[in-house]
Amino acid sequence: MSAEIVASRFRFAVNILPKDGILDPQGRAVEQSLPHLGLAGIGEVRVGRRVELAVDAPDAAAARALVEELARELLCNPMIEQFAIEPLGAISAARSGSGG
């Protein structure tokens, strides 16, 4: 019955937004379109980027550390952007037993 877990695949999203106070012309353009839509009460629009990915790692902490490194080094330019990592769940691959 005991399933030996060899590796797990962890899915994440990295949500990247312009840093607070950084010019966001796309967000401003969206805001300026709101009156045309007849929508009131919406503000502070920020337009960013979302990257989804899967990581094979022995555990969730190791997977997250890899994603953090990727986000810092490539996905996000820390001078102008900030990121937040969002776990999207894991899929475990079992070698034997009833795993699923």
Partner 1 sequence: MTVRVGVVVFPGSNCDADTAWALARAGAEPVELWHEHADLGGVAAVVLPGGFAYGDSLRAGAIARFSPVMRAVAGYAADGGLVLGICNGFQVLAEAGLLPGALLRNRSLRFVCRDVTITATRADTPFTHRVPDGRALRMPVAHGEGCYYADEATLDALERDGRVLFRYADDAGSPARVEDRANPNGSLRAIAGVLNAAGNVAGLMPHPERAADALLGSDDGMLLLRSLVESAAARARGGAEGGAPTASGAGT
Given 23, 37, 39, 61, the residue binding partner 1 (CB under 8 A): 23
Based on CB atoms, which residue is closest to partner 1, 8 or 71? Answer: 71
36 in contact with partner 1 (CB under 8 A): no
Which listed range, 24-32, 36-44, 57-65, 90-98, lies at the site for partner 1 (CB under 8 A)?
24-32
Considering only residues 78 to 97 of the shown chain, the ones binding partner 1 according to CB under 8 A are: 79-80
Contact between 95 and 4 under an 8 Å Cβ cutoff? The reply is yes
